[in-house]
Amino acid sequence: MIDRNNISPLSRLTNRIEKFTERTFLDQKLNNWLGYTLCFLFAGAIGYLMAEKTLIGLGVTALLLGLTIVMVCLLNTEAGLYINMFYAFFICHFDRMVLDNQLQVGIFQDILVYVTFLGFFVRKVNLKRSLNQFTSTSVVIMLLAVYGYMAIELFNPYAVFFVGWFPAFRKILSTLLILFISFNVFNSWAAIKRFISVLFVSCVLVAIYACIQQAHGLFEFEMNWLRTDPRRFRMTFVGGGAKKMSTMPDALSFSIIMATCSVFFIAIANGIRGAWRKTVLIGGAMLMLIAMSYAITRTANAMVVGGIALFVLLTLDKRVNRALAVFAVVVFLLMLYLPVYNPQLDQFRQTFRTSNDPSYLVRENNRKSIQPYMYRHPIGGGLGTTGSEGLEYNPGHYLSGFPPDSGYLKKSLEMGWIGFGMICILYFLILRTGIRGYFHTRDPKIRTLYAAATAACFAFYVGDFSQVAIGQITDVMVYYPFIALILKLKDFDQPTKTPTA
């Protein structure tokens, strides 16, 4: 029974608007022959515009579709989370194919995240209770401390211009909202299973398209996109082959998602019952690994090895996982020393044989050369001061144009060793929460999810050592829901809330 006295005025107003709109426009005005005729004429007008005035037709269609998506995000937070995920995974492909790479992808993602968050205010959600639960964990407290420190970086005296701080802080605000949205979505065991299913289907689709690219070659619209940027073209064609990016912004973003999600689904498949579900998950994870190999990136190889290694260590008490550990070691050694040569295997071997690799030696020399700067600047040089961001936002800065080639090095240079230390503590707390939760609970399903999410997060941290693996448009829609999953699982580890199959 709903207590009408507890319904907020905003919720009452929203309900009245919905009922009025449905009664006036759907039931009274459109549910007749005139309404059917108007709908038919409207569809015909859209078809005419698409055929004769393509740009106008696309604009009208995009407007209608955008309004529909905004309404869905406002009225259903879980659907909004999935829309954000689909957008991150597929929008760059749509932009390359239809819009000639003209869409401001990051801005529209921020809008989708903000709209999904505003849905809490449109509907009657007890935000006070949610916020109390959200901020009661050490992980979120440390995360807020890191974000607070990054906010203070606006006043970093070493930054030439402060304009580089705004896009960086805009990103971290969006990631905080993604974490909070995911934390609220995972309020039931059914919602968690739906998220895993949606993520699995999305990753499989992305992997399938990468396999199509490998078999067919890059399509003409993708080649045109590459030719618009000479550096992008050079970075894509390496060693006589092309790095496949599938539907994502680049090969690195694609390989990071495939690496972490393959670890996640292998871990889940290891802990579930049912031959059919296990076969589907393992088959999907293998497809992701195959697709990942077409990206020809060493970072992803290290992420898979690191993630699976942590998962095996967590679950070494099981006999089947001890056998899995032996099998994994054998496969690893075969891939290193088997006398078979192709671009994928060569790249895998270079990942773990770095002593004579020119690219690795250049990166090591860069890191050593910049260490004195890190020691002299405990608060760093300011956000947005390294790499291409430094050239754009802080030209003339000492770090401007310096290639960090590592998430850890980038954070150390921009936030100083103080900020980098805080981030390392945050990573430790996330892993500690997942490991403690795994050993604390007795429920096998919850243990499986703890191990899977923790191993996937560790894979991200391994990748962040050699590349900026956390913070791109694609990975934030996977990494932060994994953290939310680790934080939320404890709510299901109660006698009255233990999930059932």
What pLDDT, on a 0 to 100 scale, did the predictor assign at position 129?
79
- 169/2: higher pLDDT: 169
Residue 449 vs residue 19, higher pLDDT: 449
- For residue 15, the model assigns a pLDDT of 56
Task: Say yes or no: 278 and 247 in one domain.
Answer: yes
Higher pLDDT, 445 or 47: 445
Domain shared by 192 and 289, yes or no? yes
Which of 122, 151, 186 terminates a domain? The answer is 122
For 172-220, the pLDDT digits (tens) are 889 999 999 999 999 889 999 999 999 999 999 999 999 999 998 899 9
Predicted pLDDT at 99: 78
In this structure, are residues 446 and 455 in contact, taking their beta carbons and an 8 Å threshold? Answer: no
Name the percent of the chain lying above pLDDT 90. Answer: 34
Domain match, 341 and 245 both: yes
Q: Is residue 428 part of a domain?
A: yes
Same domain? For 351 and 465 the reply is yes
Question: Of 41-55, 195-209, 255-269, 335-349, where does mean pLDDT reach its minimum?
Answer: 41-55
Q: What pLDDT does residue 26 have?
A: 47
Q: Is residue 348 part of a domain?
A: yes
Contacts 24+ apart (CB under 8 A), 240-244: 240/343, 241/296, 241/343, 242/217, 242/218, 243/294, 243/295, 243/296, 243/297, 244/210, 244/213, 244/214, 244/218, 244/291, 244/294, 244/295, 244/296
Residue type present at position 413: L
pLDDT digits 0-9 by tens, 329-353: 888 888 777 777 777 777 777 777 7
- Overall domain count for the chain: 2
**More confident site: 119 or 191:** 191
Q: What's the residue count for the chain?
A: 501
Name the domain boundary from 122, 145, 167. 122
Average pLDDT over residues 47-73: 68
Mean pLDDT estimate for the chain: 82
Tokens linked to 397: 């800065």
Q: What is the 3-state secondary structure (H, E, C) of 114-162?
A: HHHHHHHHHCCCCHHHHHHHHCCCHHHHHHHHHHHHHHHHHHCCCCCCC
Quick check: is 241 in a domain? yes
- Measure the CA–CA gap between 299 and 277, rounded to whole angstroms: 29
What pLDDT, on the 0 to 100 scale, is given for residue 1?
A: 40
Domain end, chosen from 122, 142, 169, is at 122
| Same domain for 296 and 147 | yes
Question: Same domain, yes or no, for 177 and 58?
Answer: no
pLDDT at 442: 86
pLDDT of residue 38: 56
pLDDT in tens, 389-415: 888 888 888 888 888 888 888 899 989
pLDDT band of 60, cuts 50, 70, 90: low
**3 is a domain residue:** no
CB 442 within 8 A of CB 450: no
Residue 262 has pLDDT above 90, yes or no: yes
Q: Are residues 197 and 270 in the same domain?
A: yes
Residue 61 lies in domain: 17-122
Provide the pLDDT confidence category of residue 52 given band limits of 50, 70 and 90: low
Q: Could you give phi then psi for residue 369, rounded to 5 degrees?
A: -70, -25
Same domain, 188 and 289: yes
Query: Is residue 11 scored above 60 in pLDDT?
Result: no
pLDDT beyond 60 at 48: no
**Inside any domain, residue 100:** yes
Predicted local confidence at residue 334, as pLDDT: 82
Q: Are residues 392 and 314 in the same domain?
A: yes
Q: Which of 47-51, 83-87, 393-397 has the lowest mean pLDDT?
A: 47-51
Q: Are 343 and 241 in contact (CB under 8 A)?
A: yes
Domain membership of residue 10 (yes or no) is: no
Average pLDDT over residues 300-326: 87
Do 111 and 175 share a domain, yes or no?
no
